[in-house]
Amino acid sequence: MSERKYTVAVVGASGAVGARMIKMLEASSLPIKAVRLLASSRSAGNVLKYKNQDITVEETTEESFAGVDIALFSAGGSVSAKYAPHAVKAGAVVVDNTSHFRMNENVPLVVPEVNAAALKEHKGIIACPNCSTIQMMIALEPIRQAFGIERIIVSTYQAVSGAGARAIAETENQLREVLNDGVNPKDLVAEILPSAGDVRHYPIAFNALPQIDVFTDNDYTYEEMKMTNETKKIMSDEAIKVTATCVRIPVLSAHSESIYIETKEAAEIAAIKEVIKNFPGAVLEDNPAMQTYPQAVNAVGKKETFIGRIRKDLDVPNGVHMWVVSDNLLKGAAWNSVQIAETLHELDLVRKTETLVF
């Protein structure tokens, strides 16, 4: 392993994910020489803490990346599209949290417990999958390795923090309006959710919105298509059948997922529990007799993915159901990114890209 110490930049440091990235870096095994915090001109000049040091947030520009070894991007797809190539040109390795580069054939899409080997092919940019995909991969990869997976049908119950700091504020304000001021949820005025970029907005307080991100031409949303396409790429299996319904609920942090799979080989539930228990990053929480199962409130602040309610489908021979919960801001974003950086270091892959493809 390299003895180098790194300068790490966080782009989007003032955001919901950026704040967690700073926390994850503070606790990281990565040898860090210096941390640079970048955002837009709106936050430039604000002071944030890293290990009790005051660090002034800088505006992101094309010149921001001189001397940076690792750049963690979490400031939206257009910011990654514009600045990530400049970071690579300056000699940094980029770990990008946005969807912009995920399906690019030159970009490994990585959940370290599942496909760390893909990092070896990196050409300067590595993509962190969508939050809802990451936790599903942690739950399903041990089952895929042991028994194969034919198809996946997933329904998500996603936290509002997945839509950023403004969505958290909108939810909290709406809950206050209903509970403190007696406003009927139907009369709440929404400006962000279900998707900040869309035409119509609906209240999230006391509601469930079956739309995350905007709709695509096939009537699935982008979030649903991310789960489908990213699963095939991460598992290197174009034939695996995946369909998703993504729903936003008024929970602040931690996504929950009801996942149905059909395995290729018959598998006893006890054997499925055993492989999950032994998989890194996965925690089995499954004891119906004690009413033990994963819950969003318990997952907040944890790096692991929690899996329970594992049971056989009563009609389909190889059908299995489960409930999967993880902190979308940690394993779903900040921790997976920092973990990728740690893995790059362990594999001695933090290096300048000589032949530029971006």
Ligand X SMILES: NC(=O)c1ccc[n+]([C@@H]2O[C@H](COP(=O)([O-])OP(=O)(O)OC[C@H]3O[C@@H](n4cnc5c(N)ncnc54)[C@H](OP(=O)(O)O)[C@@H]3O)[C@@H](O)[C@H]2O)c1
Whichever of 286 and 327 has its CB closer to ligand X, that residue is 327
Residue 232 Cβ vs ligand X, minimum distance, rounded to whole Å: 19
Q: From start to end of 108-206, where are the E strands?
A: 125-127, 149-158
- Residues 212-231 as x/- pattern, contact with ligand X by CB under 6 A: --------------------
Of the residues 131, 201, 246, 321, only one is catalytic, namely 131
- Residues 92-121 as x/- pattern, contact with ligand X by CB under 6 A: -----xx-----------------------
Amino acid at 136: M
Residue 340 Cβ vs ligand X, minimum distance, rounded to whole Å: 13
Whichever of 84 and 261 has its CB closer to ligand X, that residue is 84
The answer to whether 131 is a known catalytic residue is yes
**Contact flag: residue 42 with ligand X (CB under 6 A):** yes
CA-nearest of 250, 258, 295 to 160 is: 250
Exposed (0-12), middle (13-18) or buried (19+): which is 355, by Cβ within 10 Å?
Answer: exposed
**Contact flag: residue 33 with ligand X (CB under 6 A):** no
Name the residue number minimizing CB distance to ligand X.
Answer: 15
User: What residues numbered 309-338 form the site for ligand X, per CB under 6 A?
Assistant: 328-329, 332-333
Where does 27-151 have alpha helices with state H? Answer: 77-89, 112-115, 131-147
End-to-end CA, the chain = 27
Tokens of 104: 């690019």
Q: What does the alpha-carbon distance between residue 152 and residue 174 come to, in Å, rounded to a whole number?
A: 35
Supply the DSSP symbol for 289.
Answer: G
Residue 10 Cβ vs ligand X, minimum distance, rounded to whole Å: 9
**Contact flag: residue 251 with ligand X (CB under 6 A):** no
**Contact flag: residue 340 with ligand X (CB under 6 A):** no
**Contact flag: residue 339 with ligand X (CB under 6 A):** no
**Contact flag: residue 209 with ligand X (CB under 6 A):** no
Task: Tell which one of 30, 48, 118, 131 touches ligand X (CB under 6 A).
Answer: 131
Q: What does the alpha-carbon distance between residue 243 and residue 109 come to, in Å, rounded to a whole number?
A: 19
Supply the DSSP symbol for 301.
Answer: T
- Residues 5-24 as x/- pattern, contact with ligand X by CB under 6 A: -------xxxxxxx------
Residue 89 Cβ vs ligand X, minimum distance, rounded to whole Å: 18
Distances (CA, A) of 139 to 113, 148, 281: 11, 13, 9
Task: Tell which one of 162, 194, 203, 281 touches ligand X (CB under 6 A).
Answer: 162
Residue 204 Cβ vs ligand X, minimum distance, rounded to whole Å: 15
The answer to whether 246 is a known catalytic residue is no
| Part of the chain binding ligand X (CB under 6 A), chosen from 75-83, 115-123, 172-180, 338-346 | 75-83
CB 256 within 8 A of CB 157: yes
CA-nearest of 72, 277, 232, 267 to 137 is: 232
Whichever of 161 and 174 has its CB closer to ligand X, that residue is 161
Whichever of 151 and 166 has its CB closer to ligand X, that residue is 166
Q: What does the alpha-carbon distance between residue 2 and residue 346 come to, in Å, rounded to a whole number?
A: 8
DSSP-derived 3-state class of residue 207? coil
Only one residue has tokens 């492989």, namely 275
**Contact flag: residue 39 with ligand X (CB under 6 A):** yes
Residue 288 Cβ vs ligand X, minimum distance, rounded to whole Å: 30
Sheet with 255-263, strands from edge to edge, namely 241-248, 149-158, 255-263, 319-326, 305-312, 282-284
CA-nearest of 176, 231, 235 to 206 is: 176
Residues that bind ligand X (CB under 6 A): 12-18, 39-40, 42-43, 60, 74-77, 79, 97-98, 131, 161-162, 164-166, 328-329, 332-333
Query: Looking at the annotation, which residues are catalytic?
Result: 131, 255
